[in-house]
Amino acid sequence: MADPALSFVIERTGDLLIQKIAFLKDVRRQVERLRNDLVRMRCFLKDADQRQDEDARIRNWVSEIRDAAYDAEDIIEIFASKVEFIKDKGLVTKLTFYPLKFVNLYKIGKEIKSLQMTLSDIADSREKYGIKNLGEGMSTQGEELQRLRRSSPFNEDKDIVGFEEITKSLVAQLLKEDRNRRVVSIIGMGGAGKTTLAKKVITMLMSGRNSTAVLGMQEQDLEQRLYQDLQDKCYLVVLDDVWKEEAWDCLARAFPDVNTSSRLLLTSRNRDVAQHADALSKPLELKTLGQEDSWQLFLRKALGHGDNAGCPPDLEEVGREIATRCAGLPLAITVIGGLLLAKKKLKSEWEKVLNSFNTNLSKSQSGVSAILELSYADLPANLKFCFLYLGLFPEDHVISVRKLIHMWVAEGIMQKRDAVNLEETAAYDDVERLCSRNMVRVAEMTVDERIKSCRVHDLVRELAIRKAKDEIFFQIHDTRDDEISAKSRYLAVHSLRVKNYFGSLTPPLRSLLFFNIRIYEENISLRFKSFRKLRILDLENVEMYSNLPKEIGEVRLLRYLGLRGKLSIMHRFKIAHSVVLRITSTTRLPHSFGRLRNLQTLDIRTHATVIVPNFIWKLESLRHLYAYDMECDVPLKIEGLRNLQTLSGIRFDDIMHNNMLTLTSLQKLGIWVDDGSEIDKLCMHLSEVGSLTTLHLYSTRGRGRPTLAGLSKLHHVTELKLSGLWQMLPPDFPPNLSRLSLNHTDLTDDPMPVLEKLGRLHGFHQLKFLELGRLNHLDEIKAEKGALPQLLCVRIRNCGRLRKLPEELKHISTLDTLELVDMPKDSISKLAADTALSVPNLRIFDS
């Protein structure tokens, strides 16, 4: 499929036709015909994704089809949402609204007919404008990209820096005594130097030995020739840039495994390929170059000098900035260095290159740009759409994987696979696939080795933005000169311009995301009635001076609403010397929220208490409700929410007033308790909720300190979190507990004698992951000798006073990784130096 967005929209239109059949039966034939027209149109687009870069006519033609496909999906969903709104009303209301149903049917029929005429005109224009021969083979650009990929391994590059240690490790693996045929793999993102490193290793190993190249043979003949020639030999074969597991399976047949200690050196961007080729061999991941190595390579490429060559003083500052912008990618440094080598050695010339850095790379048809283009082209259609969505996030932004998954699901990118609510599982799998292909970088992992957050390399982000602008009507507003397009479907706002943000413009937005907007003299003016097609609205960390307007209830297709962070009413007072004081008070959600029947994720984790009208029980599609603290004038009704998986920030009394057995999908629950909360009764109330696996109990000063009891009734709970001023540990624990978290507690006794007796936690002799988080007064850790014999990873998060780890850690042979998260620079340097010789891997993360 040429166009990922168009492919999904056409598929979703078909799914909607099936799902909404009861509402659409009177216009079913028209909807079916519309979908068939789109499917027929898609047949002409086999190679359009390559051809449209060459021909503006093709690009515009594809854009028109895509626009029509989006409109088709919007028409059906908006109509269905109106009918669904009527169906749940009482008899009198239904009779009142009955004539409106016929009005809506007439309107949808009219809109579909108009779309069909548009598609007919688009089809006719293909011949009219000379758009021919689509789908008949690979375009010139496609052939050029393939040629580049094929030829790049043979290009000489003698300027190699920063690979000394990994080269030694590779050589050691290749020479390791083992009679079996083994595969040693180098993985890394495009441009990281995998091919260059492989060539260097082979040059070292093959010095003075014979090498053979076999060219110009058919695939089957080549396979047979290799297999016969290698039968009794100890061979070393390099397989460069193997992209897929199927490709390896085909290649592997040509290399006999006959106990001759043979080796294959494989390079790939995909970790899965490497592990599939040899599950017993750990792939060596090629990291990007460090700052100094990047600078040395840059000098060689930009100035043509050898080792330790200096840089003219007037060029050094701008040169280092250019090298930094290459983010440690050897291929990026090589491309930009080659550009500078051909220019005069003048500061003004280098500054021009710096200012147009991304533009130069994006227009290049070789080097980094072309290789990244090819990486994108190789993604399956659904991964292309997921990848393009990442371009909406700001440069260097740490992206929460959980949030990203909720957005992808809300957008309808994910499809259910084999059970209810498995879109989230599919979405996480796609995050892993993008990471394994090195299109996305892991920023932080959880203790059970799941990806918690990720980043996108700047050059990769530029590719996503470039592609997304054409393919999904995508726009980023990040300067005060930007104009919002009337065709924008996906809009990310990184800066504000005027008080009435959109003016009279009403683009057909599906996603509207705001990032770190600070509003002081102006407010965001969103005319919600105009955004009927909006599925995702993210206002995280946006400061607003009023509550959300009641018109939010008109956005009936909304599936994701993010209000996390600083969304609150901000009162401003002038005091002495014109200082402005802002006081945050509570936030109130309007009653119209009850109309958001498609809402899947509601994130209201603000710094203030959120007053919630008793509407949540109406949100039948709700899956995730995140809050720090919710308050309601009456007991908050949540019964019957069969899709609800996550509920946090709810109060004890609200839980006890609901039949929790009706929440059949509930997995994670966070509850505020105080000294009047009977925890034993709460546990009895929750004991039959078989889907519940994670329980988080919050207690703070002012609400008292309840006595923990009855937790042993919670057989299904495997993870328990206790936050707040708990003075004592519970007298009992859930019997199947495997994870326990204690945050900001006020324990007076040493908890370790109790904790190490927990059966499922296996004491500390079995502990493999240790995390110490947000311990502001921790300055020393004590560990007895032999206390942690199987420890693999230590993670230290936000422990600002900690400067030294216990000596005993240095003697744990299993310890592989030290992770420092949100730590001061001086702490990082001291801890890193302290463990440099004893811990193989040091990972540093910033939120």
Average pLDDT on 487-493 reads 86
Q: Which residues of 436-472 are buried (b: 16+ CB within 10 A; e: fewer)?
A: bbbbbebbbbeeeeebbbbbbbbbbbbbbbbbbbbbb
Rounded to 5°, the CA angle 241-245-249 comes to 100
Q: Is the pLDDT of residue 403 over 60?
A: yes
Q: What's the CA gap between 539 and 531, in Å, rounded?
A: 15
Tokens of 683: 């546990």
Tell me which of 176-185, 248-257, 783-792 is least confident. 783-792
More confident residue, 304 or 49: 304
Tokens of 749: 């006794």
- One-letter amino acid for residue 146 of the chain: Q
759 three-state secondary structure: coil
CB–CB of 676/656 below 8 Å? no
Average pLDDT on 277-282 reads 90
**How does DSSP assign 388-428, residue by residue?**
HHHTTSPTTPPEEHHHHHHHHHHHT-----SSTT-HHHHHH
Q: Which of 181, 327, 318 is nearest to 254 (CA)?
A: 181
Q: Is the pLDDT of residue 627 over 70?
A: yes
565 three-state secondary structure: strand
* Span 213-237, pLDDT tens digits: 554 455 667 788 888 888 888 999 9
**How does DSSP assign 708-727, residue by residue?**
P--GGG-TT--EEEEEE---
Tokens of 123: 């089809």
Question: Given this model, what pLDDT does residue 575 score?
Answer: 33
Q: What is the pTM of this model?
A: 0.74
Q: How many residues does the chain have?
A: 847
DSSP state of 675: T
- Residue 705: in which H helix or E strand, if any? none
* Span 777-834, pLDDT tens digits: 777 777 777 777 777 888 888 888 887 777 777 778 788 888 888 888 777 777 777 7
Tell me which of 169-173, 495-499, 624-628 is least confident. 495-499
Q: What's the mean per-residue pLDDT of the chain?
A: 77
pLDDT band at 523 (very low <50, low <70, confident <90, very high): low
More confident residue, 537 or 52: 537
Q: What's the CA gap between 783 and 762, in Å, rounded?
A: 17
Question: Given this model, what pLDDT does residue 43 score?
Answer: 61
pLDDT band at 841 (very low <50, low <70, confident <90, very high): confident
- Residue 461 CB partners (closer than 8 Å, separation 6+): 390, 391, 393, 395
Q: Which of 331, 387, 362, 337 is nearest to 188 (CA)?
A: 331
pLDDT band at 160 (very low <50, low <70, confident <90, very high): low
Average pLDDT on 308-312 reads 76
Q: Is the pLDDT of residue 155 over 60?
A: no
Helix, strand, coil in percent for the chain, rounding step 5? 40, 15, 45
More confident residue, 784 or 23: 784
Measure CA 592 to chain center.
31
Q: Which of 728, 731, 723 is nearest to 703 (CA)?
A: 723
Pairing of strands 570-574, 580-584: antiparallel
Question: Given this model, what pLDDT does residue 421 score?
Answer: 55
- One-letter amino acid for residue 60 of the chain: N
- Residue 583 CB partners (closer than 8 Å, separation 6+): 570, 571, 573
More confident residue, 28 or 627: 627
Q: Is the pLDDT of residue 666 over 50?
A: yes
Average pLDDT on 390-396 reads 89
Any long-range contacts for 125-130 (C-beta under 8 Å, 24+ apart)? 125/61, 125/64, 126/44, 126/61, 129/57, 129/61, 130/57
Highest mean pLDDT among 59-68, 118-127, 402-411: 402-411
CB atoms closer than 10 angstroms to residue 83? 18
Q: What's the CA gap between 25 and 105, in Å, rounded?
A: 10
More confident residue, 330 or 536: 536
% of the chain exceeding 90 in pLDDT: 19
* Span 283-305, pLDDT tens digits: 988 888 888 888 988 888 888 76
Average pLDDT on 651-659 reads 94
Question: Given this model, what pLDDT does residue 100 score?
Answer: 55
Q: What's the CA gap between 83 and 89, in Å, rounded?
A: 10
Q: What's the CA gap between 273 and 186, in Å, rounded?
A: 11
More confident residue, 120 or 275: 275
Question: Given this model, what pLDDT does residue 16 score?
Answer: 61
- One-letter amino acid for residue 96 of the chain: T
Q: What's the CA gap between 66 and 113, in Å, rounded?
A: 17
pLDDT band at 770 (very low <50, low <70, confident <90, very high): confident
Question: Given this model, what pLDDT does residue 153 score?
Answer: 42
3-state secondary structure 232-254: CCCCEEEECCCCCHHHHHHHHCC
**Sheet of 630-631, strand order:** 587-588, 610-611, 630-631
* Span 540-588, pLDDT tens digits: 877 665 677 788 888 889 999 998 875 444 333 333 333 333 333 457 8
pLDDT band at 501 (very low <50, low <70, confident <90, very high): low
